[in-house]
Chain A
């Protein structure tokens, strides 16, 4: 079930293979239920996802272009983009390095408690974000377990943009681990042995042989962690302090506008976020296709 670990990984479905020759369309239609299941799938998808999402687009059309532009580029909104994208990028970067490290250690080394550590990696997927949020802010607050040692040195993490980054590191932690882990498991040791016998140091082998082979998986995990972080709300708002222009994330801007009954404004900002997440989804799909070509190459 290696491919099925994370609930938020776009599915590792192979590209559509057109039926060619034998066993094609005719043979498959022996099975019943095609019309029923496809019909239900499309209907349910339409009712739950597509129609409500289209409401977002239609609602935005009630704005003139100028109104839309003002709504999505006001200084306070721009500040929230900078924070959301900046913090998400930083958090995904941290997860890129530590995710690779954790995946490497889990695949290559033996140590006591390894299975528990492996299981614990998925905690951010299972723990409700609100719980993560209050718990992290309790840890980092001035009287918290970690905060009490940092505050005397003038380091404030809770209720600052740095707190946002920390919450987003937590949220995105499993992605890189879970995309890199299966690729490392399948990696062929013969290549590494060959590199060593040709005189490469271990570090050279890692940089020139191992790293290129896991690069697509690494970038996929990075993009997923980034995409997840951009939309994250629950864990961040407890730790961010939510000061306008300083530590206010874009999802919170949407909530704020809704609470002031500014539906059009909320919708406009939401549309920007939706378009960006959709683009990221396409990027991730592209990265996964790259990875399949990469690993699908004949050994």
Chain B
């Protein structure tokens, strides 16, 4: 049946096959290769590689970094979205663009700017050295670089969402005597919870997987300042292929879990939207 808005089955299945073939080569095969390379010498060797103390310290550092960077950007994201979505002020468009800026900056440049500020030759370098504080080639630098590259994730999820929701419900709560905090916790937060979760998991995935920016500020001290992606690089360059892919497989699992959570949120959101659309209109449109 051709209703004028679709193609013949032959064209249809050719296009579908081409698209799937492209996806297979560029997405499925790389994922499969990670699993295959990690298990090349059997499951025992795989587990051995993950038991390495250096691998463990990399895992711990990655978790620590994400545990600091994500909450920081969460608080920022909520504050920025509240100010930008709920109020009108001069310079809002500029501020919104600046929030996006870290996405446009190359990760390597992101690492470099912190070296220029905190490194030995940098602005605060001499002062930090005199007080025996290490930021670059140490954990604080890694956290800072990660905060920079994941800076916009949660804010940019929340801004359009909160703009679309307007301010009517919050205003009603305030007029009825709720405090600002109560309004936020009881009115705003339930409305944005899915968008918030969505931003948090994407922010977390990037925080745990960042390579370029962290590579510049880390100094690659084994067992101390290597995150998981950096540890993968070290192992790979030492031709410890199985070990490299074993650690990489953990990151690939993280990516898959992220995609699953993300899809579940999207499907949920779709269902809710459909439920709202199907609902009989109870009140006249405002």
A129 touches B212 (CB 8 A): yes
Interface presence of B48 (CB below 8 A): no
| Overall SS of chain B's interface | helix
CA gap between A238 and B82 in the complex, in Å: 41
Q: What residues of chain B lie closer than 8 Å to A38, measured between beta carbons?
A: 83, 87, 89
Pair count A-B, CB < 8 A: 338
Chain A count of residues within 8 A CB distance of the other chain: 112
Is the Cβ of B269 less than 8 Å from the Cβ of A41? no
Q: Which residues of B contact A285 (CB under 8 A)?
A: 97
CB distance from B151 to the nearest CB of A (A): 6
Which chain A residues border B119 with CB–CB below 8 Å?
Answer: 263
238-258 of chain B: CB within 8 A of chain A = 241, 244-245, 248, 251-252, 254-256, 258
Residues of B within 8 A of A4 (CB): 156-157, 160-161, 195, 198
Q: How far is the CA of A48 from the CA of B160 in the complex (A)?
A: 23
Q: Please determine whether B233 and A108 come into contact, CB atoms closer than 8 angstroms.
A: no
A208 is an interface residue with CB less than 8 A from chain B = no
A238 contact from B26, B87, B95, B236, Cβ within 8 A: B236
Residues B80 and A119 in contact, CB atoms below 8 Å apart: no
- Give the distance in Å from the alpha carbon of A197 to the alpha carbon of B267 in the complex: 36
Contacts A38-B83, A48-B147, A231-B106 given; indicate if A1 touches B194 (C-beta within 8 A): yes
B-side interface residues, number (CB < 8 Å): 122
Q: How far is the CB of B192 from chain A (nearest CB, A)?
A: 11
- Asked if A16 CB lies within 8 Å of chain B CBs, one says yes
Indicate if the CB atoms of B167 and A28 lie closer than 8 Å.
yes
Tell me whether B98 and A49 are in contact (CB under 8 A).
yes
Which of B49-57, B107-115, B277-285 contacts the other chain?
B107-115
Contact check, A170 vs B148: say whether CB atoms are below 8 A apart.
no
CA distance A170 to B78 in the complex (A): 32
The docked-state distance in angstroms from the alpha carbon of A267 to that of B7 is 54
* Interface residue from A1, A30, A45 paired with B266 (Cβ < 8 Å): A1
Say if the beta carbon of B123 comes within 8 Å of chain A. Answer: yes
- 16 pairs of residues in contact across A and B, judged by CB atoms under 8 Å: A10-B103, A13-B159, A13-B160, A15-B93, A30-B171, A34-B83, A36-B79, A41-B84, A45-B99, A52-B117, A109-B12, A123-B259, A131-B251, A232-B212, A234-B211, A277-B104
- Chain B residues with a Cβ under 8 A of chain A: 3-7, 11-12, 15-16, 18-20, 22-23, 25-31, 33-34, 37, 75-76, 78-80, 82-84, 86-89, 92-93, 95-109, 112-117, 119, 121-123, 144, 147-148, 151-153, 156-157, 159-161, 163, 167, 170-171, 174-175, 179-180, 183-184, 194-195, 198, 202-203, 205-206, 208-212, 215-216, 228-230, 232-233, 236, 241, 244-245, 248, 251-252, 254-256, 258-260, 262-263, 265-267, 269
Chain A residues proximal to chain B, CB less than 8 Å: 1, 3-5, 7-19, 24-25, 27-34, 36-38, 40-42, 44-45, 48-53, 55-56, 59, 98, 101-102, 104-106, 108-109, 111, 115, 117-132, 134-136, 138-139, 144-146, 169-170, 173, 189, 192-193, 195-197, 202, 227, 230-234, 238, 251-252, 254-255, 258, 261, 263, 266-267, 270, 273-274, 277-278, 280-281, 285
